[in-house]
């Protein structure tokens, strides 16, 4: 298995403006290829934007939705991949037999390699939950996908890893919303509007517990415990009315940050994934040390899944 050069991208999307968003996707894809990337990953629902879906009725979401792989957006991703000779991962609203999904696809010059439907959707009651994990091949690397909240549930990460994933792509729209954790909350718009004159003030907000500080509480643990590479993507700026902190980054199987975006602009960074770390990492040994006979029935016992975050219970908090 050869080294894999992966780009993590972030940009400020426009609500429902697929033409604009795909245009930015192509610009960043071209830039990543120019720097030698084999793969580029974008954030959750990067083609449509995300947060504004909470205010749409079913008909409005249907009007945004497309079939996978036959829809226009998928075909454009395939064409962009073919033009720049690079694999692309991006998100859109899928419609299939009348059901709507928050879907993430992997496109290359030959077509759509795989699609993954978010297992824990909550932004709209009209989105159905995905019901399966995916593991697929990119240049000899086994890759999985988990969308945003899916990564919060540790069993999803373990299951994807046990299915063979070496890399988990984790597209998000997250951060800078209130929760029960101390220090969490919205970032005042004044910081964003003043970002050119006082970038350090905004960095303090984004890098603290509202943004990066929260991400770093749990994301490195997912990589470390499972011994996998993690590609985290997140928008920068506004997604709907929510200001997002970006901080898109790539973690190695030790949970160490290989590269991270600190810019407030549309941007991408690249890291080289090397196969040697996969078996050297502690997570590889821990997987082999498991005794599933002790907890198979405990983990698999019946349970009612509740996903809705605090900020959706009260629109004035997270």
What whole-number distance in Å separates Cα of residue 283 and Cα of residue 150? 19
Query: Residue 115 contacts by C-beta under 8 Å, 6 or more apart in sequence?
Result: 68, 69, 94, 103, 104, 105, 106, 134
Preceding omega of 28 cis (within 30 degrees of 0)? no
Yes or no: say if 86 and 277 are a contact pair by the CB < 8 Å rule: no
Give the DSSP letter string of 232-274: EE--EEEETTEEEE---EEE-TTS-EEEE---SSSEEEEEEE-
Instruction: Spell out the CATH class of 4-313.
Output: alpha beta
What would the pLDDT profile of 183-235 be if each residue is shown by its tens digit?
999 999 999 999 999 999 999 999 999 999 999 999 999 999 999 999 999 99
**pLDDT average, residue stretch 114-139:** 97
What whole-number distance in Å separates Cα of residue 78 and Cα of residue 56? 28
**Structure-block tokens of residue 74:** 């998928």
User: With bands split at pLDDT 50, 70 and 90, how would you rate the model's confidence at 318?
Assistant: very low
What whole-number distance in Å separates Cα of residue 135 and Cα of residue 142? 6
Check whether 314 has a pLDDT greater than 60.
no
Domain spans in the chain, listed from the N-terminal domain onward? 4-313
């Amino acid at each position: 298995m050869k080294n894999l050069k992966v780009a993590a991208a972030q940009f400020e999307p426009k609500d429902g403006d697929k033409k604009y968003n795909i245009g930015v996707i192509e610009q960043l894809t071209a830039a990543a290829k120019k720097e030698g990337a084999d793969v580029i990953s974008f954030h959750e629902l990067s083609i449509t934007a995300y947060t504004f879906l909470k205010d749409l009725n079913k008909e409005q979401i249907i009007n945004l939705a497309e079939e996978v792989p036959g829809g226009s957006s998928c075909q454009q991703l395939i064409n962009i991949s073919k033009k720049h000779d690079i694999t692309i991962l991006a998100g859109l609203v899928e419609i299939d037999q009348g059901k709507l999904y928050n879907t993430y696809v992997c496109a290359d010059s030959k077509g759509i390699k795989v699609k993954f439907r978010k297992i824990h959707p909550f932004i709209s009651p009209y989105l159905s939950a995905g019901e399966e994990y995916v593991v697929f091949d990119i240049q000899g690397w086994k890759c999985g996908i988990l969308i945003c909240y899916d990564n919060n549930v540790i069993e999803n990460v373990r299951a994807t890893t046990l299915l063979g994933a070496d890399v988990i792509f984790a597209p998000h729209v997250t951060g800078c919303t209130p929760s029960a954790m101390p220090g969490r909350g919205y970032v005042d718009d004044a910081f964003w509007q003043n970002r050119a004159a006082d970038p350090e003030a905004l960095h303090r907000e984004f890098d603290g517990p509202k943004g990066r500080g929260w991400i770093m509480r749990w994301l490195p643990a997912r990589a470390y415990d499972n011994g996998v590479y993690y590609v985290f993507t997140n928008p920068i700026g506004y997604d709907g009315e929510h200001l997002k902190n970006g901080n898109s980054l790539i973690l190695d199987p030790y949970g160490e940050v290989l590269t991270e975006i600190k810019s407030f602009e549309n941007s991408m960074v690249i890291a080289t994934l090397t196969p040697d770390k996969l078996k050297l990492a502690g997570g590889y040994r821990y997987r082999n040390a498991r005794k599933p006979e002790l907890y198979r029935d405990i983990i698999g016992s019946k349970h009612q899944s509740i996903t809705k975050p605090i900020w959706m219970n009260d629109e004035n908090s997270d």
